[in-house]
Amino acid sequence: AQSVTQLGSHVSVSEGALVLLRCNYSSSVPPYLFWYVQYPNQGLQLLLKYTTGATLVKGINGFEAEFKKSETSFHLTKPSAHMSDAAEYFCAVSDPASSASKIIFGSGTRLSIRP
């Protein structure tokens, strides 16, 4: 079974500061990993995904994440936070060998940006 743990339900950073949202996964097979962002009363938007190949993945809006197999982690970072980054962020995992394409979501981390 696959699972995702997001450390910290709420992260607050100052505008211009580094953003670090933590995600650890559990999977018996090499997983696909995702980060999604959700703005209030909206659906989810894919920020980035890791499937195979390069472990440092660059996404939209200046975000990137690094797949570290030894640490079973896929932390999301952004060098300089912007006010518009305030949202809910979800880390997710799926089994590439599964025909069902199910995505298992973490509990989410709310990112707040201080002026």
**Which residues form the interface with other proteins (CB under 8 A)?**
34, 36, 41-46, 49, 90, 96, 99-103, 105-108
Smallest separation, CB 113 to other proteins (Å): 18
> Residue 76: which residues within 8 A CB-CB, separation 6 or more?
19, 20, 21, 23, 35, 47, 48, 63, 64, 65, 89, 91
Question: With respect to other proteins, which residue has the nearer C-beta, 50 or 113?
Answer: 50
Question: With respect to other proteins, which residue has the nearer C-beta, 53 or 115?
Answer: 53
- Is 62 within 8 Å of 68 (Cβ atoms)? no
Question: With respect to other proteins, which residue has the nearer C-beta, 17 or 49?
Answer: 49
